[in-house]
Structure 1
Amino acid sequence: MEEFRHSYSRLCKESGAEPQETVLQQLQGLPRGRLDLATQSLTVDTCRALGELLQKETLPTELILSDCMLSEEGATLLLQGLCANTVVRFLDLKGNNLRAAGAEALGKLLRQNKSIQSLTLEWNNMGAWEDAFATFCRALADNGALRQLDLRNNQISHKGAEELALALTRNASLQQLEQAMDHNRDRQTTFRENQARTHVLSKEVQHLQEEKSKQFLDLMETIEKQRKEMARSSRASAIRVGQLQEALNERHSIINALKAKLQMAEAALALSEQKAQGLGELLATAEQEQRSLAQRQAKEHRLEQQEAAERESKLLRDLSAANEKTLLLRNQVDELERKVGSQQEQLFLARQELTNTAAELKTRAIQAEERLELEKKRSRQSLEDLERLRAKEVEHLTRRLEESEKAMQERVQRLEASRLSLEEELSRVKAAALSERGQAEEELIKAKNQVRLEEQQRLAHLEEKLRLLAQARDEAQSACLQQRQTVAEAQAQAGQLGLQVEGLRRRLQELQQELSNKDQEKVAEVTRVRVELQEQNGRLQAELTAQEALREKVAALERQLKVITGDHREALLDRESENASLREKLRLKEAEIARIREEEAQRASFLQNAVLAYVQGSPLRAMSPQK
């Protein structure tokens, strides 16, 4: 190990990196043939140096790298170095969080390395990467040197389990089964030889019995009868024990089936509870969104009502202002009429004042016309602004309604997608349950095989006992001179067998009592499970009724939303009718203003004609006295 330590330091310095002090300290006190770097945080440079050393070194046969926090690159470099190694027999990579790259590097190692017999990969994440784990399984199928493999806590999925099962069917470890079959064949041949020898010995004993005198015939007949009774009792006890074992196996299989059904029912119940909880959460979110949507629409409706009220008040103010202006104009017209009357009275007094007054009237009439034109343009502009504002409001409302409809459609699509995902999850859970059921059946088959093996071992033990009894019988026959001692031994053996039979009977009674207790426990457990299932069904029914009530609330909210939408439409129609009536009133006002303007024009023309007539007639009256 000192040479290994110096080589490690040299390689680290050649690569431009400092050797880790913790690794050097760990290498200093290690025994020969064992490299233990457990719980040491190894850097990439250290892994590179160790990989190069493991390609050449022939010292360590055990390499322990558990909980070393190996990175993907470091693990790859180490495993590449081990590919060419032919000495390491034991490799421990426990708790290194190996993922896709680590699994592929391990597959390459299993293909190229034929010396590793024990590989520990506990507490890694190779099963989470299905493609890389499949590569590892294919390499495992081709490897014929590996004898022990630990893959606990590797997050192996059902697909990874299938790949691992296929690899195990092709792995060379099946040679152990062939060797076991060879051992069974040898045992059968040995058993047949023993039977043949027993047969030969029985013939010799019969020959010896024929040679004996008649005084031993009664004794031998008695011994033969006792032997037959013992064999009969042993066969009966063996048959009874076999029947009891079969009944016990059947009860165990029934209990296991009930446990499996109970686990499946619990899993289905948990899945249904999760699904119901998810649907409840979705329904709660839908209700919350519906409530927020209703509040938002109510708020928008209130804002629209306020805006409509403000617009209505503004229109009323504009209308009152227009009415005031028209009254002012009427007052001005009346005042002008009074002034015209006074001027007509004063026409006869001063012509100059009349002409000035006519000019002033003309300018005022022009100003009045200009004011009327301005008022008309202003009213038209206000009407156009109102029309554009109404169009914008209608467009805004339609856009908002379309957006809300789109949002509701998207919500429905999301709910449909969630339903589909839940159905897919249910199918996956069913597939997992089927795979677990297959595993349980395989375990049951293994248990049956083990029971058969134990039964064969028990039969072999009984055969051994029979062989010993035959040997004792041969010894008794060969020692004919010690008849009393042989009879005493036979009686003692018969007493022991009687005690054994009595013990077997007591054991049978105990097994029957245990079976009855197990039956009672099973019945109690089944009743308890039924009660729990009934309670869970009751809770599920209550949750379903609550969900129905929530659905009814949602439907009521939708109906309220429809009613609010209808009221909003009716309000819009009322506003449009009010706008139409206001436009009609404005049109009537414009017609009245036009009529007033025409009357003013007619009065002005009449006044102008009168003034002209007066002006034209005044010189004639002045010239008539001179004539």
Structure 2
Amino acid sequence: MEEFRRSYSRLCKESGSEPQEAVLQQLHQLPRGRLDLATQSLTVDTCRALGKLLQNQTLLTELVLSDCMLSEEGTTLLLQGLCANTVIRFLDLKGNNLRAAGAEALGKLLRQNQSIQSLTLEWNNLGTWEDAFATFCGGLAANSTLQQLDLRNNQISHKGAEELALALKGNATLQQLDLRWNNVGLLGGRALVNCLPSNRTLWRLDLAGNNVPSDVLRAVGQAMEHNQDRHTAFQETQTRTHLLSKEVQYLQEEKSKQFLDLMETIDKQREEMARSSQASAARVGQLQEALKERHSIINALKAKLQMTEAALALSEQKSQDLGELLATAEQERLCLSQREEKERRLEQQPSRAPHEVLLDPGRLPTAPNLLWLLLRRGRAQQELTNTSAELKIRVVQAEGGAHDPTPGGK
């Protein structure tokens, strides 16, 4: 509240006056939410400064200005500032001798202010001026927030009581009204009794010290008991409604939390399903690529197998041809061996004279024939050796390709 204190000093100096030391001291010791200036004689400049500060003040909820000897002008300035205030709930103006101007300012305050719930006006003279008090009652009828009103010792006559009765017919929020030690009398008491059936919220009305007959007081008491029972039932209903509202709010919050948890779980499941789908799609793609690769390998193996089978058939044909060639060569070799054997036998027989030796040209091989046989025999052996080696290499390659299913075995 130091800012409030500095602002008060600044406003007083701007108006050409010094701030009151007692007020500065109270502002320095200000408890939270409560400004108590009781018994401080507030000047008009102080009231003007406080009125300006109270227009936008949002920290104070209680304002005590009892026995401050407020002047008519000071009261008007203060109450004008309070008309725009939206946080003060309790206002105490006890013992300030408020008169006509004060009553009119209070009527305006009750019309415009929407926050004050308790108003203490004890020991003032509001009822002395009937027209001004009627203005005050008109503001009370239009008010929609005031719950407690203390009008003790305000010189309220039966005329003022009649104005209050009219105000109570239109007011729907006032719950407690203290009219003790006034001049209501019989007529004022009857006016109040007649207005009570139209008012369903007022459950406490004090009329002691007003020269009101006992039967009127009993009627007022019965009406108050009826309204009090209604008020009690209303409070119980409000309590139950509040509890039910809290329960409903709790259930709504719980349902909202469950719904949010469910939606979060669904979102997580969707994300998980999306990731699984992506992984499955990638896995399927990999499997398809692997399957295509396998198909390619199988096709390559089939082609290699066909080539191997063709090479094997060719090798078999060559082997058969070579076999036949070898058989022919072997036959020729046998024939040659037989001839050589015959020649050796002839050589081992007794020698004859050169002129006696008769050579059989058909039995002896000629030189070209013998050379041709030797060359043919060497070529056959070389070709047989080459063919056998080639056949072995092809058979090994064919066997190796058939057993190696991987691309590296091609």
Q: Identify the TM-score tier after normalising by the shorter chain.
A: 0.3 to 0.5
TM superposition score normalised by structure 1: 0.31
Whose helix fraction is larger, Structure 1's or Structure 2's?
1
